Chains A and B, each alone.
Chain A
Amino acid sequence: MSDYALPAVIAVTLVTVAIGIYGLRFARTTSDFLVASRMVSPTWNAAAISGEYLSAASFLGVAGLVLKHGVDVLWYPVGFAAGYLALLLFVAAPLRRSGAFTLPDFCEVRLRSKRLRKLATAFVMFIGWLYLVPQLQGAGLTLQTVTGAPYALGALLVGVVVTLNVALGGMRSITFVQAFQYWLKLTALAVPVIFLLMQWQSAGRPALTAPEGPTFPVATTVTVDHATRLTVTTQTLVIAHGRLDGSTVDGAVLLTVGEHVADAGTALEFQAAAVVPKVAAVSDESPTDWLLPGDHSQGLFATYSLILATFLGTMGLPHVLVRFYTNADGAAARRTTLVVLGLVGVFYLTPTLYGVLGRVYTPQLLMTGNTDAVVLLLPSAALGGGLTGQLLSALVAAGAFAAFLSASSGLLTSVAGVLSTDVLGHGSVRDFRRSALVAGIVPLLLALFVASLDVSQVVGLAFAVAASSFCPLLVLGIWWRGLTAVGAAAGIVAGGGAAASAVLLTVLGGPLPGWAGVLTTQPAAWSVPLAFLVMISVSLLTRHRLPKNLGAIMLRLHAPDALRM
Chain B
Amino acid sequence: MEPPAPRVRVVLGDVARGRIDPARTRAELEEQSPVGEALARGLVRAQLAVAIRLAAVVAVALGGLPLLFAAAPAVGRAQLFGVSVPWLLLGVAAYPFLFVVGYGYVRLAERNEQEFVALVEDRSHQQS
B is bound to A: yes
Q: What residues of chain A have their CB less than 8 Å away from a CB belonging to chain B?
A: 71, 74-75, 78, 81-82, 84-86, 88-90, 93, 291-294, 300, 303-304, 307, 331, 334-335, 337-338, 341-342, 345-346, 348-349, 352, 479, 551-552, 554-555, 558-565
In the complex, the chain B residue whose C-beta lies closest to that of A38 is: B1
B40 cross-chain contacts in A, Cβ below 8 A: 551, 554-555, 558-559
Which of these, B48, B58, B114, B116, contacts A479 with CB under 8 Å?
A: B48
Instruction: Give Cα A15 to B118, complex, Å.
Output: 51
B62 cross-chain contacts in A, Cβ below 8 A: 78, 82, 307
A293 cross-chain contacts in B, Cβ below 8 A: 65-66, 69-70, 76, 86
Given A89-B54, A341-B99, A345-B98: 7 more A-B contacts, CB < 8 Å: A75-B90, A78-B90, A81-B95, A293-B76, A300-B67, A563-B117, A565-B30
- Give B67 Cβ to nearest chain A Cβ, in Å: 7
B96 cross-chain contacts in A, Cβ below 8 A: 345
Top 10 nearest A-B pairs by Cβ distance? A345-B95, A560-B113, A74-B90, A293-B69, A551-B32, A89-B51, A293-B86, A352-B91, A303-B66, A293-B76
B86 cross-chain contacts in A, Cβ below 8 A: 71, 74, 292-293
Establish whether residues A565 and B90, one from each chain, have CB atoms under 8 Å apart when the complex forms. Answer: no
A335 cross-chain contacts in B, Cβ below 8 A: 106
Interface size, B (range): 35 or more
Establish whether residues A562 and B32, one from each chain, have CB atoms under 8 Å apart when the complex forms. Answer: no
Instruction: Give Cα A345 to B94, complex, Å.
Output: 9
In the complex, the chain A residue whose C-beta lies closest to that of B112 is: A560
B3 cross-chain contacts in A, Cβ below 8 A: 564
In the complex, the chain A residue whose C-beta lies closest to that of B101 is: A85
Instruction: Give Cα A560 to B87, complex, Å.
Output: 41
A-B contact pairs, 10 of them (CB 8 A): A82-B98, A88-B106, A294-B70, A294-B76, A554-B44, A560-B113, A560-B116, A562-B7, A563-B117, A564-B6
Establish whether residues A292 and B77, one from each chain, have CB atoms under 8 Å apart when the complex forms. Answer: yes
Establish whether residues B117 and A71, one from each chain, have CB atoms under 8 Å apart when the complex forms. Answer: no
Instruction: Give Cα A552 to B30, complex, Å.
Output: 6
Instruction: Give Cα A563 to B8, complex, Å.
Output: 11
In the complex, the chain B residue whose C-beta lies closest to that of A303 is: B66
Chain B 34-66: CB-based contact to A (< 8 A → 1; otherwise 0): 001100100110011001001100100011011
Given contacts A349-B91, A479-B44, A93 and B101 within 8 Å (CB-CB): no
Q: Describe A's contact surface by its main secondary structure.
A: helix
Q: Decide if B73 is an interface residue (CB 8 Å cutoff).
A: yes
Establish whether residues A292 and B90, one from each chain, have CB atoms under 8 Å apart when the complex forms. Answer: no
Q: Decide if B103 is an interface residue (CB 8 Å cutoff).
A: yes
Q: Decide if B17 is an interface residue (CB 8 Å cutoff).
A: no
Which of these, B47, B77, B92, B101, contacts A558 with CB under 8 Å?
A: B47
A342 cross-chain contacts in B, Cβ below 8 A: 99
- Give A359 Cβ to nearest chain B Cβ, in Å: 13
Establish whether residues A338 and B84, one from each chain, have CB atoms under 8 Å apart when the complex forms. Answer: no
In the complex, the chain A residue whose C-beta lies closest to that of B69 is: A293
Q: Decide if B14 is an interface residue (CB 8 Å cutoff).
A: no
Instruction: Give Cα A558 to B77, complex, Å.
Output: 46
- Give A358 Cβ to nearest chain B Cβ, in Å: 14
Chain B 1-34: CB-based contact to A (< 8 A → 1; otherwise 0): 0010011000000000000001000100110100
Which of these, A78, A337, A551, contacts B94 with CB under 8 Å?
A: A78
B94 cross-chain contacts in A, Cβ below 8 A: 78, 81-82
- Give B105 Cβ to nearest chain A Cβ, in Å: 6
Instruction: Give Cα A303 to B68, complex, Å.
Output: 13
- Give B1 Cβ to nearest chain A Cβ, in Å: 8
Establish whether residues B98 and A334, one from each chain, have CB atoms under 8 Å apart when the complex forms. Answer: no
Given contacts A479-B48, A563-B6, A338 and B58 within 8 Å (CB-CB): no
Establish whether residues B37 and A551, one from each chain, have CB atoms under 8 Å apart when the complex forms. Answer: yes
- Give B44 Cβ to nearest chain A Cβ, in Å: 5
Establish whether residues B117 and A337, one from each chain, have CB atoms under 8 Å apart when the complex forms. Answer: no
Which of these, B36, B48, B69, B102, contacts A88 with CB under 8 Å?
A: B102
B116 cross-chain contacts in A, Cβ below 8 A: 559-560
Which of these, A88, A479, A565, contacts B26 with CB under 8 Å?
A: A565
- Give A31 Cβ to nearest chain B Cβ, in Å: 14
Chain B 93-128: CB-based contact to A (< 8 A → 1; otherwise 0): 011101101110110011001101100100000000
Instruction: Give Cα A337 to B99, complex, Å.
Output: 10
In the complex, the chain B residue whose C-beta lies closest to that of A89 is: B51
Instruction: Give Cα A479 to B52, complex, Å.
Output: 11
